[in-house]
Chains A and B, each alone.
Chain A
Amino acid sequence: MTLVLLILLPLVGGFAAWIVGRRNTGVCRWLSLAVVLAELALVLRVWARHLGDAGLGSSGPWLEIFERAWIPKLGISFILAIDGLSLLMVVLTAFIGVMAVLVSWREIEERVGIYFACLLWVLAGITGVFMALDLFLFYFFWEVMLIPMYFLIGVWGHERRIYASVKFFIFTLAGGLLMLVSILALTLSHAASTGIYTFDYTELLGTPLSSPSALWIMLGFFIAFAVKLPAVPIHNWLPDAHTEAPTAGSLILAALLLKTGAYGLIRFVVPLFPEQSAAMAPWALWLGVLGIIYGALLAFAQTDLKRLVAYTSVSHMGFVLIGVYSWNELALQGTVMQMICHGLSTGALFMIVGMLYDRIHTRDVTEMGGLWKAAPKLGGVAMVFAMASLGLPGTGNFVGEFLIIFGAFKVSIPVTVAALLGIVAATVYSLRIIQTTFHGPAATSWEIPDMSSREMLMMAPMILAIVWLGLWPSTVIATFEPALKSLMHLVPTLWGGG
């Protein structure tokens, strides 16, 4: 029942925020904060329960499961379940959710009620995506998170928000429709061989598929997730969406929405289509490399700070693609670590860009410089996350990237070496972030306030989390491990014909 509550809470909370927001925006903000904090408390309780009694992995593949019939005639049921992977993603969602409400506190002045409603609904959709085990339900949540996000960008975004939101919508919707076709095809194939219509993930695992059609079905899923990830060359909705979205929108996009793509690859694409994924794996690795290098080069070339950070996402998510398709223990642990740490570090960078924009009303780095003197705290925080972004040891990003690299080294040496070159390129763009904004000669004599206590309150947990994960990554590793074991049991390897 807790799982249902995790979705209902932000969903109902969103309606409440909408209604309250019409009368009193202050109460609406506090209400939204209460909702996300309650969500976080709830999910942390679940985590603590399973960490505490060594229950992780002892009770079968799923830690908790909730199952009800929904549209039985079509074999559609309402199944929510979590394992370590889902749990970690839901924890991340709730944590980022709190941050998203906090960054919006002063930034959003118009239509506050409906704004917070959209924000909470996106969170509900994402939470659903990470827990749904019925493919139809999964598709449903996939679209649920799309629509409020579209409004967040299109209504509360910056100058080119309409262009960006439409682009975002078309890309994601096109991917989603491909996935829907693939889901239907998979169900029909399953029915053809067993006579049972079902959308249940566990039932569909191991469905025998004839080879040419299976490849196409797999590609339908793959493209939907690769758009979200994003993988080059279908990444180009992302820089526009990130740049034009309000801060909370960029935060949710970077920290959570991109992770749904990675999650989909791990949960659905590889386990449902092991043979096709194996055929795809070498291509996927090089797509990952392309993303890493291409993203890094483009990040370096940008002058819009938000766009710069957006392209770093493309670069970092290339590692995730490599991690997934290397498909071994090290690489997958690294992938999950990278997903979480990229969420925190890039999310934090977007928050910092938001704070800067709030103070100097520009995102153009050529107009910045020398801000450290005026805002040393903000500079220090930015330094921490720039270092995380270049994968400095001591931050979780290092653990993630290096676990992926150690895992990938087992399957392809050239890919690993190319990915390592991407880390050098990451140094170049990350240092540029600091150099062009906080360091360098002051463009004008800045008179801006340093971080407020609300902002410190937001950034402190982010810093603690990223350093914690850098020094004690076992928190994440141990939580994911049983889930990883069962994934590896489903698909032992994508490499070596096995």
Chain B
Amino acid sequence: MDGFCCSLPLWLIPALPAAGFVVLALVGARLPKRWAAVIGAGSVGLSAAVTPCAASCYLRHPPDGGVRIERLWTWIDVGTFDIGFSLALDALSLVMIFVVTFVGFLIHLYSTEYMADDPGFSRFFAYMNLFVAFMLMLVLADNLFLLYLGWEGVGLCSYLLIGFWYDDPENGRAARKAFVVTRVGDTAMAIALLLIFKHAGTLDIGQAMTWASDNWAVGSGLAVAVAFLLLGGAVGKSAQLPLQVWLPDAMAGPTPVSALIHAATMVTAGVYLIARTHAVFMLAPAAMTAVAVIGAATLLLAGCSALVQTDIKRVLAYSTISQIGYMFLGLGVGAWSAAIFHLMTHSFFKALLFLGAGAVIISLHHEQDIFKMGGLRDRLPTVFWTFLIGSASLAALPLVTAGFYSKDLILWYSWSTEYGSPWLWAAGTVGAFLTALYSFRLVFIVFFGDEKGHVERHPGLRILIPLVVLAVLSVIGGLVETPAMLGHVTLFSDLLDPVLPPAESTVPGHQTEHLLQAVVAAITLVGVFLAFLFYVRRPSIPAALRSSPLGARVCRFWLSGWGFDTLYDRILVRPFVDLARLLRLDPFDGISSTLGRVTAAGNSVLSRTQDGRIRTYVFGIGVGAVIAVTIVVFT
């Protein structure tokens, strides 16, 4: 088994879904749905099967330097610009490919039922397979140029899938918004690549990072510039301030898409990028602070917005923005592996929540308004229990959920590392309260109370199995890394240690840690209790809050995502459109057409002199003679 696993090439992992895409794109429309499903889900499933194999080989026979590199071919070779089409597997990419293929496969399996009646069935799986292939390229790329290929590729698939139901122009608008906004971030990232290549002379991630550590001083201008530019790319892709505006609208896509792309994988690519290039960030304290502050601000803003949404998917979308905010907070305080840990647990419970939401939505015939749901606890028991587990994990209910372990770690480091501060911790803790409140608000409104919608169909096995598996992972997935008080398991951080430097606490002893943990746990429970009070016991309280003048205003403001859309529309979109409209007729064309008109006018003036009358000609000769004589006489 071992020998077989090690003989499997790395490229199989992205190539299988890529092959799935090619087959579906070429002949998908002619295949029966069953076959399209087999190819679509099967290709990702095979990839998910190869991954543990590659992992076991990697763990049993660790390659030199902890990186297994596979150069497939020379992509671009111009002088010193030598870019290989090469893959690299280290512990970090191992975690990422595990998340992408495994969660990806569960979502594909779910989609075979969820999308069963859609006329675009094979097109859907073609796009999804292409996405998985690009995502795997992104996390396996050994150089930044190839990473950029995956990065742009997932952006394309995100665009295609958000706008999957293309006949509604609103979906198209949301899709374009996502693509263009993230591409603004990508431009910053491209400039970072230019700077790295100019100075380090390579785009190979390992070499470039080593070069930067060796040659740039801490706080040097170039390091800070590169870190900030990379951050620009990361905030675009990961929907963080100030480029978070596209993600809530991206919910226009089918729900499995939201689960896969806009919760579990693509939106966390920014976190991956920063972790991957952490060497540069460690040289740029200003950028570290920026990452942490952006994370803290985003998690608060998005948490507030999640609190007032009425569309089940938009609640989850803002929740995703908020949770990625936690990951950024972790990155910003140097808790690299804690951020990746949260990335992993988040991918389990947020994919679970989206898939659960999807199950509710189709059961109620595409109803997404949570206030038209209710009482689904008994109607959809499996969905209820798994959704409850997912919400508990999102709210980080102490001890029993995966989300607790990862969030706890981030919060602890946000207090205790050299980059940390009580302020960052406080923001994270307030965020934890908000998270508990909005996630249980969702549970109570959707699954408790009176039944408002009619359950038309019950989800089948291909929907329920992924829910159950993800629910199990949302509980036990956190046990790979536990705090000192609770067994002190460090499997996850040990795995990542060779790639990501361990976070070091500057606070001695465990006393503070325990105290802070207790505080956060208590606040979380208060949040859950308040949600229970507001949405089960006394619904009059939130209603009163909402109807007060101030409350209504705040509500509208949060609902609209803090007015960013309006702002960008005013300062960016409209000027662009107006300028384009102004120039539409090509003012430069005026130059040549004026030239043409002048020539034509000259022609009509001069042609009048040739009117065929002798007296005109005589007059002309006379005037000419006078002028000629005058010139001769006077010069």
Residues of A within 8 A of B (CB): 167, 171, 232-237, 239, 294, 297-298, 300-302, 329-330, 333, 370, 372-373, 376, 380, 383, 387, 392-394, 398-399, 402-403, 405-406, 409-410, 416-417, 420-421, 423-424, 427-428, 431, 435, 438-442, 471-474, 477
- A330 touching B588 in the complex, CB below 8 Å, given contacts A393-B148, A424-B184: no
Q: Assess the B78–A431 pair: CB atoms within 8 A.
A: no
Contacts of A472 on B, CB cut-off 8 Å?
73, 75
Contacts of B156 on A, CB cut-off 8 Å?
387, 392
Beyond A392-B156, A406-B81, 10 additional pairs, beta carbon < 8 A: A297-B576, A297-B580, A301-B584, A330-B81, A373-B167, A409-B197, A420-B187, A423-B183, A427-B179, A471-B85
Q: Assess the A416–B153 pair: CB atoms within 8 A.
A: no
Q: Assess the A439–B172 pair: CB atoms within 8 A.
A: yes
Q: Assess the B176–A431 pair: CB atoms within 8 A.
A: yes
A314's closest neighbor in chain B, by CB?
A: B586
Q: Assess the B194–A405 pair: CB atoms within 8 A.
A: yes
- A474 touching B579 in the complex, CB below 8 Å, given contacts A298-B584, A435-B172, A441-B168: no
Interchain CB contact (< 8 A) of B180 among A392, A409, A431, A471? A431
Interchain CB contact (< 8 A) of A236 among B29, B167, B169, B588? B588
Q: Assess the A421–B187 pair: CB atoms within 8 A.
A: yes
- A439 touching B166 in the complex, CB below 8 Å, given contacts A297-B580, A330-B78, A472-B73: yes
Q: CB of B633 within 8 A of chain A?
A: no
Cα–Cα, bound, A402→B592 (Å): 34
- A403 touching B78 in the complex, CB below 8 Å, given contacts A302-B584, A387-B156, A440-B166: yes
Q: CB of B612 within 8 A of chain A?
A: no
- A440 touching B153 in the complex, CB below 8 Å, given contacts A403-B78, A417-B191: no
Q: Assess the A394–B149 pair: CB atoms within 8 A.
A: yes
For window 99-142 of chain B, which residues contact chain A by CB distance below 8 Å?
123
Selected A-B contacts with CB under 8 Å, 28 pairs: A233-B588, A233-B591, A235-B588, A236-B586, A298-B580, A298-B583, A298-B586, A301-B584, A329-B79, A330-B78, A370-B166, A399-B76, A403-B76, A403-B78, A403-B81, A406-B81, A409-B194, A417-B191, A420-B191, A423-B187, A427-B180, A428-B180, A431-B176, A439-B167, A439-B172, A440-B166, A473-B75, A477-B77
Q: Assess the B187–A442 pair: CB atoms within 8 A.
A: no
Contacts of B74 on A, CB cut-off 8 Å?
474
Q: Assess the B179–A431 pair: CB atoms within 8 A.
A: yes
Contacts of A300 on B, CB cut-off 8 Å?
576, 580
Cα–Cα, bound, A383→B164 (Å): 13
Cα–Cα, bound, A383→B75 (Å): 24
Contacts of A232 on B, CB cut-off 8 Å?
588
Q: Assess the A477–B78 pair: CB atoms within 8 A.
A: yes
Residues of B within 8 A of A (CB): 25, 29, 73-79, 81, 85, 123, 145, 148-149, 152-153, 156, 159-160, 163, 166-169, 172, 175-176, 179-180, 183-184, 187, 190-191, 194, 197-198, 576, 579-581, 583-584, 586, 588-589, 591-592
Sort A-B residue pairs by CB-CB distance and give the 9 closest, nearest first: A393-B149, A439-B166, A301-B580, A301-B584, A233-B588, A236-B589, A409-B194, A329-B79, A333-B78
Q: Assess the B75–A471 pair: CB atoms within 8 A.
A: yes
Chain B nearest Cβ from A299, distance in angstroms: 9
- A474 touching B583 in the complex, CB below 8 Å, given contacts A387-B156, A392-B156: no
Cα–Cα, bound, A370→B172 (Å): 11
Cα–Cα, bound, A304→B584 (Å): 11
Contacts of B190 on A, CB cut-off 8 Å?
402, 405, 420, 423
Cα–Cα, bound, A239→B587 (Å): 13
Contacts of B584 on A, CB cut-off 8 Å?
298, 301-302
- A439 touching B163 in the complex, CB below 8 Å, given contacts A232-B588, A406-B81, A473-B75: yes
With most chain A CB atoms within 10 A of its CB, the pick from B167, B179, B184, B576 is: B167
Chain B nearest Cβ from A462, distance in angstroms: 16
Contacts of B576 on A, CB cut-off 8 Å?
297, 300, 428
- A329 touching B176 in the complex, CB below 8 Å, given contacts A236-B588, A297-B579, A301-B584: no
Cα–Cα, bound, A394→B157 (Å): 13
A171's closest neighbor in chain B, by CB?
A: B592
B159's closest neighbor in chain A, by CB?
A: A431
Q: Assess the B180–A424 pair: CB atoms within 8 A.
A: yes
Chain B nearest Cβ from A439, distance in angstroms: 4
Q: Assess the A294–B180 pair: CB atoms within 8 A.
A: no
Chain B nearest Cβ from A210, distance in angstroms: 31
With most chain B CB atoms within 10 A of its CB, the pick from A372, A380, A439 is: A439
Cα–Cα, bound, A420→B76 (Å): 20
Cα–Cα, bound, A439→B169 (Å): 8
Contacts of A330 on B, CB cut-off 8 Å?
78-79, 81
- A424 touching B153 in the complex, CB below 8 Å, given contacts A235-B588, A298-B586, A403-B78: no
Contacts of A423 on B, CB cut-off 8 Å?
183, 187, 190
Cα–Cα, bound, A370→B163 (Å): 12
Cα–Cα, bound, A15→B376 (Å): 79
Cα–Cα, bound, A237→B589 (Å): 8
Q: Assess the B197–A406 pair: CB atoms within 8 A.
A: yes
Q: Assess the A329–B591 pair: CB atoms within 8 A.
A: no
Cα–Cα, bound, A406→B389 (Å): 49
Cα–Cα, bound, A333→B153 (Å): 24
Cα–Cα, bound, A232→B586 (Å): 10
Contacts of A473 on B, CB cut-off 8 Å?
75-76
Contacts of A301 on B, CB cut-off 8 Å?
580-581, 583-584
Chain A nearest Cβ from B458, distance in angstroms: 31
A387's closest neighbor in chain B, by CB?
A: B156
Cα–Cα, bound, A317→B408 (Å): 53
A440's closest neighbor in chain B, by CB?
A: B169
Cα–Cα, bound, A301→B592 (Å): 21
Chain A nearest Cβ from B573, distance in angstroms: 10
